[in-house]
C-alpha cells in the first residue's frame, strides 16, 4: 500500500476532494463552501491537501489564511482509513506549509468526538460558547469558575465567550447546554507553530 499526501492540483481535483469530504462532515456550512475553497486554492494552494492510498482518496484537509492565522477547515479521513496516522500526517503537512508561507498559528473547530485527535496533534483546547441572548455575557461568565476568559463578544443578538481550558471539560460543556438550552458549544483548538 502506498500513501501519498500532496497539495490538491486544481479545481477538478478540489471538486472530487470536496465530494469525498461532504458525506463525512456534512458539508457545506456557512461561508466555507466549495466556491470558497476554490478561491482559497487559487490564493494558497499549499493549504489544501489530499491523502491518497493506492490511487484512492482517503483523506483531505482544506485550510485558508484568515487574518493572522490559518483556519484549518474540513479534516476528513475515510472510515476504513482511520487510526492509521493519515490524519496526523496531513496535519503535519498543513503545519509545514503554513510555516513556509509565514504563518505561525493554526485554528480549527472540532466536531464532537474528534477532540482527542487534535490534542494528540499538539493543539490547545478552548471552549467556545454562544447563546442567542443579547447581553447575557455576565450570565455566561458566571457559570465558569475555573478557566481564563480569552475572548468575549456581544454582537448580532448573540453573547459569545471563549474559555482557555487545559483539558476537554465535557462536564462544563454540558452544564452550559443545560443552563442555556438555546446555546451552542464547540471546542476550538489553537496551535502555535513557531
**CATH for 39:** 3.40.630.30
The residue among 85, 109, 133 that closes a domain is 109
134 in the same domain as 84: no
How do residues 41-81 score in pLDDT, each as one tens digit?
Answer: 999 999 999 999 999 999 999 999 999 999 998 899 999 99
Domain count, the chain: 2
pLDDT beyond 90 at 27: no
Q: Report which of 114, 99, 121 is spatially closest to residue 44, judged by C-alpha positions.
A: 99
129 in the same domain as 91: no
132 in the same domain as 103: no
93 in the same domain as 40: yes
pLDDT beyond 70 at 1: no
Strand ranges (E), 14-81: 48-53, 56-66, 69-77
Rounded to whole angstroms, the Cα distance separating 41 from 84 reads 27
The residue among 76, 109, 142 that closes a domain is 109
**CATH for 166:** 3.30.70.260
- The verdict on whether omega for the bond into residue 83 sits within 30 degrees of 0, i.e. cis, is no
- Terminal Cα distance for the chain, rounded: 34
pTM for the structure as a whole: 0.90
172 in the same domain as 133: yes
Amino acid at each position: 500500500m502506498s500513501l501519498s499526501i500532496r497539495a490538491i492540483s486544481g479545481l477538478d481535483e478540489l471538486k472530487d476532494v470536496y465530494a469525498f469530504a461532504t458525506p463525512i462532515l456534512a458539508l457545506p456550512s456557512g461561508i466555507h463552501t466549495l466556491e470558497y475553497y476554490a478561491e482559497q486554492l487559487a490564493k494558497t494552494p499549499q493549504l489544501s491537501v489530499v491523502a491518497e492510498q493506492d490511487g484512492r482518496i482517503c483523506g483531505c484537509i482544506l485550510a485558508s489564511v484568515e487574518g493572522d492565522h490559518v483556519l484549518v477547515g474540513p479534516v476528513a479521513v475515510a472510515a476504513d482509513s482511520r487510526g492509521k496516522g493519515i490524519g496526523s500526517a496531513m496535519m503535519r503537512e498543513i503545519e509545514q506549509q503554513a510555516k513556509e508561507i509565514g504563518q505561525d498559528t493554526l485554528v480549527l473547530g472540532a466536531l464532537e468526538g474528534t477532540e482527542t485527535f487534535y490534542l494528540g496533534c499538539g493543539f490547545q483546547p478552548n471552549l467556545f460558547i454562544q447563546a442567542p441572548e443579547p447581553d447575557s455575557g455576565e450570565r455566561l461568565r458566571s457559570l465558569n469558575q475555573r478557566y481564563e476568559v480569552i475572548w468575549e463578544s456581544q454582537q448580532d443578538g448573540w453573547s459569545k465567550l471563549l474559555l482557555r481550558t487545559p483539558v476537554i471539560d465535557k462536564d462544563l460543556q454540558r452544564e452550559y447546554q443545560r443552563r442555556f438550552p438555546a446555546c451552542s458549544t464547540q471546542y476550538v483548538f489553537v496551535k502555535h507553530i513557531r
